[in-house]
Amino acid sequence: MSPTQTPTPKRPRGQGQWALGHLEPLNPNERFKKDDDGLNVRKRIETIYSKRGFASIDPQDLRGRFRWWGLYTQRRPGIPGGKTAVLEPHELDDEYFMLRVRIDGGALSLEQLRTVAEISTTYARDTADVTDRQNIQLHWIRVEDVPVIWEKLEAVGLSTTEACGDVPRVILGSPVAGISAAEVLDPTWAIDEIQRRYIGSPEFSNLPRKFKSAISGLPDIVHEANDIAFVGVNHPEHGPGLDLWVGGGLSTNPKLAVRLGAWVPLEEAPEVWAGVVGIFRDYGYRRLRHRARLKFLVDDWGAEKFREVLESDEYLGRRLIDGPPPPPHVEPIDHVGIHEQKDGRFYIGVAPLVGRVSGSMLAKLADVVEAHGSGRLRTTPHQKLVILDVDGDQVQSLVTALDAIGLQARPSVFRRNTMACTGLEYCKLAIVETKQLAVDTVAELEQRLADLTAQVDVPISLHLNGCPNSCARIQVADIGLKGQIVKGEEGFQVHLGGGLGLDAGFGRKLRGLKVTAAELPDYVERVVRRFADQRTDGERFAQWVARADEEALQ
């Protein structure tokens, strides 16, 4: 090329957006999804793998398509966190599975609860965790037992369909939908209709990454952290409806969802939901997996363009109605405690410590709830359980009975506000152990900080995550802990002052602020005491962190 010639500009590299013609498989995940729909693996599990055993499973099914049916291989016991990023997948795999039971809206009947309990005790070594996505996770599942587990779950209206994978996962819903006097509307119909129409359908079974949904008549579903969320709002002209949010997600590149400024009537919510998922399917970035979540597309397009595409003939084909935002909430709404329903009965929210329960505990819970006249309960996005429809004369007796099986309706501030992900015990991505450390830390803090009950009259959330992926929402916790190796030991990078609602924003990270697991109770005690000493009247922890000097936060 001569010095006078202008170089030909390079064509921008495609991002794997189907709608723009970038259809070629661009990474291993996209290749296995193109080769065979993840939903199709169920037949192979039923007819081949469950009969021939773990060794017969094709690797692409094992570490890929199995997720479409709620199955992940567990971490092999004894592998330290420092080896997580070093070993190959087959070296980390145990020959047992985590199985995620999908519970849309968190709604459980006693029959369903007893079925999950029986599966846990029979097939899962009595394990069970209530997750912050309102699911229940079981461990130690053998592939040989999966078909009979599906049969039992589906007989009572539960499933594991698309509980994991690059699909629309469980839809979060208010634990008090239909019974709360404060909700703008009851969106249960929309959750059920989306599940009926779209879950398990090939229409949305190949998305660029996972897709998280939330629908509630109250701001109690952490809507800012979901790919799509509908939140109840009253329109001055049209009445009760739903405010539409898109593009939230945490993990290693956290972003809060943005409002589209659209008011959606309840009966249109399934169609609007499908429109947003369709945009993600068609325009989502498939080339680089770490940029494949909807939040990156929303961030690049902005709310105005996203709404414009949603309203185009390609999707909805009509304009949405402009609407107001929901009123901001100050504190997380976890529904723990004793609360009156709009029908005069009561619901009772209880706090299993960091969501850890067991099949035996769930069976006892079903018996206790039934003995006190209730027939249903719900899981929550805060790893809690809520018992509905309790007559007033049964409340105190039920609270006592629940406490006896380890489910407290009047928990300490730390038991109530501590969450933890699965951690090193079972998860192949984890670097540190979380669940037991959280349990031990809560016990320590309950003793050490008992004298501060009057001074600390606001919730202080403590979230522990075993890796950077933020399954326990560490960036939006008062004290968020991201697992890593510190001083050669298991430990955490500390995030302080994150929150949702009125304090929406990500926690403050200070240079070098890391603690080992052994140092954790000392550190939390130290910071909470400084907060108690320095706070002004009514000041929340996030507000104090924003103004505190670095020395106070060390």
Q: Kindly report the three-state secondary structure assignment for every residue of 328-376.
A: CCCCCCCCCEEEECCCCCEEEEEECHHHEECHHHHHHHHHHHHHCCCCE
Same-domain pairing of 311 and 201: yes
Tell which of 308, 328, 348 closes a domain. 328
- Taking only the tens of pLDDT, the chain with its 554 residues reads 455 555 555 556 789 999 999 988 789 999 999 999 999 999 999 999 999 999 999 999 999 999 999 999 999 999 999 999 999 999 999 999 999 999 999 999 999 999 999 999 999 999 999 999 999 999 999 999 999 999 999 999 999 999 999 999 999 999 999 999 999 999 999 999 999 999 999 999 999 999 999 999 999 999 999 999 999 999 999 999 999 999 999 988 999 999 999 999 999 999 999 999 999 999 999 999 999 999 999 999 999 999 999 999 999 999 999 999 998 887 789 999 999 999 999 999 999 999 999 999 999 999 999 999 999 999 999 999 999 999 999 999 999 999 999 999 999 999 999 999 999 999 999 999 999 999 999 999 999 999 987 778 889 999 999 999 999 999 999 999 999 999 999 999 999 999 998 888 999 988 889 999 999 999 999 999 999 999 999 899 999 999 999 999 99
Within a domain: 9 = no
**What is the tally of structural domains in the chain?**
3
Same-domain pairing of 103 and 188: no
Same-domain pairing of 319 and 197: yes
Q: How far is CA 400 from the centre of its chain?
A: 30
Within a domain: 196 = yes
Same-domain pairing of 287 and 243: yes
The residues with which 485 forms a beta bridge, in sequence order, are: 490
Same-domain pairing of 461 and 395: no
For residue 142, the domain's CATH number is: 3.90.480.10
Tell which of 299, 328, 357 closes a domain. 328
Structural domain boundaries enclosing 367: 14-162+335-407
Within a domain: 6 = no
For residue 464, the domain's CATH number is: 3.30.413.10
Tell which of 407, 430, 453 closes a domain. 407
Same-domain pairing of 21 and 144: yes
Within a domain: 314 = yes
Residue 179, SS3 per DSSP: coil
400 backbone dihedrals φ, ψ, rounded to 5°: -65, -45
Same-domain pairing of 421 and 400: no
Within a domain: 167 = no
Within a domain: 517 = yes
CA pseudo-torsion sign 102, 108, 112, 117: positive
Same-domain pairing of 181 and 324: yes
Position 13 scores a pLDDT of 74
Within a domain: 168 = no
Within a domain: 147 = yes
Same-domain pairing of 324 and 367: no
Position 92 scores a pLDDT of 96
Q: ∠ CA(239), CA(389), CA(327), 5° rounding?
A: 30
Same-domain pairing of 258 and 348: no
Cβ contact 481:493 at 8 Å: yes
The pTM for the full model equals: 0.96
Of 94, 181, 86, give the one whose Cα is nearest residue 140.
94
Same-domain pairing of 182 and 324: yes
Same-domain pairing of 401 and 311: no
